[in-house]
Structure 1
Amino acid sequence: MGCDGGTIPKRHELVKGPKKVEKVDKNAALAARWKYCALSTEKLRRPIVTCDLGRLYNKDAVIEFLLDKSADRPNSEVVSHLRGIKDIKELNLTDNPAWEGERRNTKGDRYEDMHCAMFICPVVGLEMNGKHRFCFLRTCGCVFSDRALKEVKTEICHKCGDPFKEDDLVVLNGTKEEVEKLRKIMEEKRAKAKATKKSKKSKFAEAVSKPSESKENPDSTETVFAEGKTSTENDEDRSQPAVPGPSGSSSSSKVVKPLAASGSLAASGSLAASGSLAESGSKRSIQSMEEKSETYKSLFTSHSSAKRTKAQTSNWVTHTPYHF
């Protein structure tokens, strides 16, 4: 029924017009970006980290995402550019002395200031609530307001004293245009790092292939050692007088030295034939070779395990058990 009692309906009750566009509350939008994690939508708490795009996260939320990327998480597209823990930077923030924490309005009888922030700029004292532009340094992670960096121009961090460049400055929670610019810079850096990594791998492969080629052609090394006599060796040959002795004894010893350095088997044979062992000194024992392992040394009778003590040796030996 309706319209009883002489009620007069109004136009907006009878005619349905277009719906009003809901406007986003600016204070709520700023609080969501500067007081809550962009991934887990929980309140920001130390340690707080950021990425190359300038978004704020809780460190534990990012680590959980990196450990299990397969799980369906809300806002996962926000951190799709993160590949590992190296892509985030922990922020060195300055606490706001006026921040009373979450318990300041438990009874609900006090005015809650939405613009009061947990952190401030250590130079100017501006609160990090979204009304002022803030930046962080990639080198040390310290956070400053843009006004402080413009007023006090320096190439050293105001808080920790580490040097930095203009390229190390990253805007926190910037506009869409600033985020796109930071994304391009991030992609360029990753492409350069990938190219340098490929070049290092190719150089390493070339360095590995060169000694393998030299091992395949040992004759080339022998000729270099045999023919490559220095001027000092020639001078020694001229200065030393001819000593009578077996034919080719002095010349063979000098030719054998470079061949022994190349490690050829023919050179070792000529050394034994010409009697160069007397020249080099006494014979080396296998037990004194440091490059040989203990297991290899134990195969020979000169090892300590093969020797018997006096208690182990007997005074007489029975050649046969039969007595005639």
Structure 2
Amino acid sequence: MGCDGGTIPKRHELVKGPKKVEKVDKNAELVARWFYCTLSQERLIKPIVACELGRLYNKDAVIEFLLDKSPDKPHADSAAHIKGIKSIIELNLSDNPAWTGRKGNTKGDTYDDQCAQFICPVVGLEMNGKHRFCVLRKCGCVFSERALKEIKTDVCHKCGAGFQETDLILLNGDKEEVEELRKKMEERRLKAKSEKKGKKTKAVESVSRSDQGEESPGSSQKEKEDANIPRDKIHFVSSAKTQADSHSSSSDAATKSSTSSCSKRPASSSERKSEAYKSIFTSHSSAKRSKDQSSNWITHTAYYF
């Protein structure tokens, strides 16, 4: 079929060769990284946050992801390392005065140079992906890497907070740089866990020591007093204590014997009771009835003997 009308087909039209690898446009990749949220793929709008790997997100999208971590959500793997709000950093960005917003090219008939919304407050470079930017983990201020290299300080240029080199997180780095940031993140989390365990053990030990101190509050004072007394006096005091203890034990035994003797009653006290006192009780012979006096029926409170 085909090849009629004098057409001459070429080889690539008849023979199917291997498919060419599609190359990703670098400009499109930069726009996707620096102007759109990694999780929701929507335009970045303040408040903007960054994870410990240097990826940019909308804060609302991260909160929704933390509330519902279902694996069916698109791009959920990009935020799998975010465990909570403490795992993200809210960015303190500097606005670009030359940015006109989305209303600059409404018709689409002019060239759009992707003017960035934010800039470096020190050097003035635009945050459009063509320049490397870093964020300080403690305060969240964002600066270009050029500014940090040219002005080497241990204090933030914007808010004045102190920082170290370990607090710097590179935004949207390469694969190798992301791997290094991942290792640092894991080391930081392991260190935090070990510190928490150490604090718990210290708290338990302090509670146990306080309980022991409450049980024997005067033990330390007694030990100090005994240490100050000479050995000759210690021997004399110990012998006096033993004599006093023996005397007190003998006196206790005497008091116990006296109380026990007082508590016992003589066995002949029941014999000394008079007949008038005995006649009060129903067990006396005068209270018993004969067979003629007893009734033939039994009431609820019958007295029959």
Query: TM-score, normalising length from structure 2?
Result: 0.69
Q: For residues 260-271 of structure 1, what are the structure 2 equivalents within 5 Å? A: none
Contiguous gaps of at least 5 residues in structure 2 = 228-305
Structure with bigger gyration radius: 2
Aligned-partner SS, 1:205: helix
Query: What one-letter code is carried by the residue in structure 1 that aligns with 2:34?
Result: W
Q: For residues 7-26 of structure 1, what are the structure 2 equivalents within 5 Å? A: 7-26=7-26
Q: 1:205 aligns to what?
A: 204
Aligned-partner SS, 1:105: coil
Is 1:127 equivalent to 2:95 in the alignment? no
Tell me the distance in 1 between the aligned counterparts of 2:170 and 2:206: 43
Post-superposition Cα deviations, 1:219-256, rounded to whole Å, max 9, x if no partner, equal x556656675599xxxxxxxxxxxxxxxxxxxxxxxxx
Query: What one-letter code is carried by the residue in structure 2 that aligns with 1:183?
Result: R
Q: For residues 1-324 of structure 1, what are the structure 2 equivalents within 5 Å? A: 1-70=1-70, 72-114=72-114, 116-213=115-212, 218=215, 221=217, 229=225
Q: How many residues align?
A: 228
Tell me the distance in 1 between the aligned counterparts of 2:125 and 2:8: 56
Q: Percent identity?
A: 68
CA RMSD of aligned residues (A): 2.2
Contiguous gaps of at least 5 residues in structure 1 = 232-324
- C-alpha change, 1:134 and 1:229, in structure 2 (3 Å) is same
- Deviation of 1:71 after TM superposition, in Å, equals 5.9
Post-superposition Cα deviations, 1:191-224, rounded to whole Å, max 9, x if no partner, equal 1111111111111112222344456xx5x55665
Tell me the distance in 1 between the aligned counterparts of 2:178 and 2:133: 14
Post-superposition Cα deviations, 1:117-154, rounded to whole Å, max 9, x if no partner, equal 11111111111111111001112111111111111122
Query: TM-score, normalising length from structure 1?
Result: 0.66
Aligned-partner SS, 1:41: coil
- C-alpha change, 1:225 and 1:142, in structure 2 (3 Å) is closer
Ranges of 4+ aligned residues in structure 1 off by more than 4 Å: 220-231
- C-alpha change, 1:226 and 1:154, in structure 2 (3 Å) is closer
- C-alpha change, 1:222 and 1:18, in structure 2 (3 Å) is closer
- Deviation of 1:4 after TM superposition, in Å, equals 2.5
- C-alpha change, 1:9 and 1:197, in structure 2 (3 Å) is same
Tell me the distance in 2 between the aligned counterparts of 1:105 and 1:181: 40
- C-alpha change, 1:108 and 1:185, in structure 2 (3 Å) is same
Query: What one-letter code is carried by the residue in structure 2 that aligns with 1:66?
Result: L
Q: 1:269 aligns to what?
A: none
Tell me the distance in 2 between the aligned counterparts of 1:66 and 1:200: 28
- C-alpha change, 1:205 and 1:4, in structure 2 (3 Å) is same
Deviates more, 1:152-161 or 1:37-46: 152-161
